[in-house]
Amino acid sequence: MITFIVTLIIPPVVTVGVSLLTEPKTNEGARDNSYLLEHSPVQEASKL
């Protein structure tokens, strides 16, 4: 019975916790990636 409750409760808590922890980091990563794409050496070289 206890294991049944644990298996029901832990997965949602873990997924919510992980999503809360990783959400700001992924947003920053997306911003960094878009910045890198906009200012990539290839595009800078093609402008020259």
Question: Looking at the predicted structure, is the pLDDT value of residue 4 above 60?
Answer: yes
The Cα 8–Cα 17 span in angstroms is 15
Higher pLDDT: 45 or 15? It is 15
Is position 46 within any domain? no
Is position 30 within any domain? yes
The Cα 27–Cα 39 span in angstroms is 18
**CB neighbour list of residue 38: distance below 8 Å, 6 or more residues apart:** none
User: For the CA atoms of the chain, what is the radius of gyration?
Assistant: 20
Is position 23 within any domain? yes
pTM over 0.85: no
For residue range 17-44, list pLDDT tens digits in order: 887 777 665 555 555 555 555 655 555 5
Question: Looking at the predicted structure, is the pLDDT value of residue 9 above 80?
Answer: yes
Q: Which domain holds residue 17?
A: 2-39
pLDDT for residue 10? 87
Backbone dihedral angles phi then psi of residue 39, each to the nearest 5 degrees:
-115, 40
How many domains, in total, are found in the chain? 1
